Structure 1
């Protein structure tokens, strides 16, 4: 009945893989989300249309369907040889980027219009205004919702277990199918691992919020 001690190596591998999957997917989601948010407020109609289409597709597509599109669609297009882990990063990052985009866009909309107008009046381009004036101020508003989104991302990594990715979800499936282990203890230890990850993300963003409040 010593489920943790008997399978500590599996728990450790699943935990570390989940942390790595969360971190890489979060990085991709943040980069994509900020870029798409810039597209959505861009004065260029084509970029605005692309940003709107991206957000609409990702927000309204179930995550499992997006996993299927990535794992089956990319090989069908000739992009073969991708490891299942990196395909999971792509799916999770793309999916979460749409929500990050909306959080960043809300932060941009919270910045007084006069800030951008003043920047343009001294000859700054749209990219300079966005990167040097608007985004630094929008970050203060966007940080709390982005923290919640990354916590949701950490929990969404469990979907990857259905696509041959080793993480906590796959460990739970393996132990549940094994004989001699109490299923409630398996759920408890797996759940505790997710709690540790989400608490770490929450603590990091609380620290970031407090730093931004000092700057303010």
Structure 2
């Protein structure tokens, strides 16, 4: 009888200890605290309409980021652009080479000021030592162009670096950067200005009068056609330098 009572008491004592260990074990305690610190706690806070410090910091960070981002990507322009909207300028700025960031955009050539002449375009490039941004608006009111790593010039062969890229807002914003397939970046002569090559086609081509243009896919940039139609008529051109 005594042994039975002792054994019974011992089993009760063991069960009590076992029950106690399940409730207050360190691992279980931390697990439940961790759970409260995540979903359960956030749900409770939302239910009671309590704002946590984490929520405040997150809102402040978002607010600061929203306030600063547009200005951070909005450069100073020497003249108002007749071809680019503010949001388009901001989108392009994010893709420009690092060495252009922080410099104002200087309008060095526009067809409205200088007329439609490739010879005049080359003349305005003399003395420049920055990348240049070519912006074209065609007769379909589509806007596209190229960022050239070097000012435009008459050349016997292709020149430029992998900083060169193409862009289009037709029908939505796209940037086509160097694929590494070849180095046919920029080619200029008295009869035409061209970008990209491979497969017998240029990515972007303008004639000597800056009136007719053409765009095809090419290996240099892996681009699609920049304009709505492969052959297009130029309405206006702007070229911006960074100095």
TM-score by length of 1: 0.23
Which has the higher Rg, Structure 1 or Structure 2? 2
Is the helix fraction higher in 1 or 2? 1
Task: Pick the structure with more strand per residue.
Answer: 2
- TM-score by structure 2 length? 0.21
